[in-house]
Amino acid sequence: MADILSILSPIQSDIERVDALIADRLESNLEVISDLNRYISKEGKRVRPALVLLSALSCSYRGDDHIKVAAVVEFIHTATLLHDDVVDDASERRSKPSAPKVWGNGISVLTGDFLYSRAFEMLCEIGNLELIDVMSTTTNIIAEGEVQQLINIGKTQLSEDEYITIAERKTAKLFETACRMGGVLAGAEDAIQQELAHFGRHLGLAFQLVDDILDYTDNTGKQKGQDLREGKLTLPIVHAMQHGDPTDRQALESALGSDRSTEVIAICERLGSFQYTHDKACAYINTATQSLDKLSQTTYRETFHELLQFLLERKY
C-alpha cells in the first residue's frame, strides 16, 4: 500500500503551506493554549485538509484561500478530537497520552473552544458568507451526532440505520464539507459542488466504518478496544447483535463497557461482522468513485482515486 505522503505528493507544497499556517495560527497569548496546541498538532494524517486542497484544485481554483480553508477544517477536526477525548475519557491519541490525560479536562475542552473559534475567525477573514454558512451548519450537525452517540451508549438494540445516521453526522459531515468548500472557493457550478459533497459524504462514511474495524484490530494511535470499553456500539457489533444467537447476544451485551475485546473479536469474526463492515465501506467507496468520475480529468482527480484506496486499506 502506498503511503499517504507519496499519494499526496502532487499537493505537497500546498500541504506544507497549510502546516505553516496551522503552526502560525495555533499561537495564543496564553502559553498553555499554545503548548497544548503544539502538543496535539503533530502526527495527524491531514486527510481533511487534503480534501479541501484537492477539491479546489480539481475545480481549477487559482488563489490562496484554499490553504486557509484547509487549515480551518483541520482546526475544527482537532477541536472535535479534543472534546471527544474528554467525553470518552480516552487515554491515548495519535500514539501519545491524550490531551486530557496530560492537561486535564478543563484545559482540553477550552483549548478545543479556542481552535473552534479561531477557525471561524479565519473563515471570516476570507469574507465568503457561503463558507461560513456551510461550516456553521456542519459544526451543529457534528455536535448533534456526538450527543446522539452518547445517548445511545449501551443501547444494544441500535439498528444499522440509526448507527449510519450517527456516523453521517459525527464523521462524514466534515468530509462532505471539506470537499464542498473546495468547490465553493473555486466558484464551481452547483452540480459539481453537489458531486463533491456526495463524494465527501460517502468517503467519510467509509472512513468511519474502517475506523470501527481498526478499533478492534489495529494500532490507530488510540487504545485498542476503546469503543467497547466506552459501551459504544459500532457497525461490527450492531451486525453481530443482529446475526448472533441468544448466547452470542448475551456475551456481547455483557462485554459492552469492558476490556474483553478478544471475546468480542472472536464472535465478530465467526459471524462475518468485520467482513460485512468492510464490504459496506467498499460500497461507500464505490459510490464516492461515481461522483469523482463526474469531475474533469486532472492529476488531482487521480490523487483523489489513490486517496480513496489508501483510506479503505489503511491500518492507522
Interface with ligand GRG (CB under 6 A) = 44-45, 47, 79-81, 83-84, 87, 94, 112, 116, 139, 142-143, 146, 170-171, 208, 211
Sequence-ordered list of residues with C-beta below 8 angstroms from that of 222, at least 6 positions apart, any chain: 90, 92, 93, 215
3-state secondary structure 202-216: HHHHHHHHHHHHHHH
Minimum Å gap between C-beta 96 and ligand GRG is 11
Minimum Å gap between C-beta 78 and ligand GRG is 7
Minimum Å gap between C-beta 208 and ligand GRG is 6
Minimum Å gap between C-beta 52 and ligand GRG is 14
Minimum Å gap between C-beta 51 and ligand GRG is 11
User: Would you say 204 or 244 has its CB closer to ligand GRG?
Assistant: 204
Whether 210 and 314 have beta carbons less than 8 Å apart is answered as: yes
Whether 170 and 145 have beta carbons less than 8 Å apart is answered as: yes
User: Would you say 47 or 54 has its CB closer to ligand GRG?
Assistant: 47
Minimum Å gap between C-beta 297 and ligand GRG is 27
Minimum Å gap between C-beta 300 and ligand GRG is 20
User: Would you say 115 or 241 has its CB closer to ligand GRG?
Assistant: 115
Residues 45 and 60: their CA atoms lie apart, in Å, by 24
User: Would you say 171 or 291 has its CB closer to ligand GRG?
Assistant: 171
Cα-based distances in Å from 230 to 112, 134, 277 = 21, 31, 20
Residue nearest ligand GRG by beta-carbon distance? 44
Would you state the cell numbers that stand for residue 261, as one nine-digit string? Answer: 475485546
Would you state the cell numbers that stand for residue 187, as one nine-digit string? Answer: 466558484
Please state the length of the chain: 316
Would you state the cell numbers that stand for residue 50, as one nine-digit string? Answer: 487534503
Indicate the SS3 state at residue 75: helix
Residues 237 and 216: their CA atoms lie apart, in Å, by 11
User: Would you say 20 or 266 has its CB closer to ligand GRG?
Assistant: 20
User: Would you say 140 or 157 has its CB closer to ligand GRG?
Assistant: 140
User: Would you say 44 or 272 has its CB closer to ligand GRG?
Assistant: 44
Terminal CA-CA length for the chain: 12
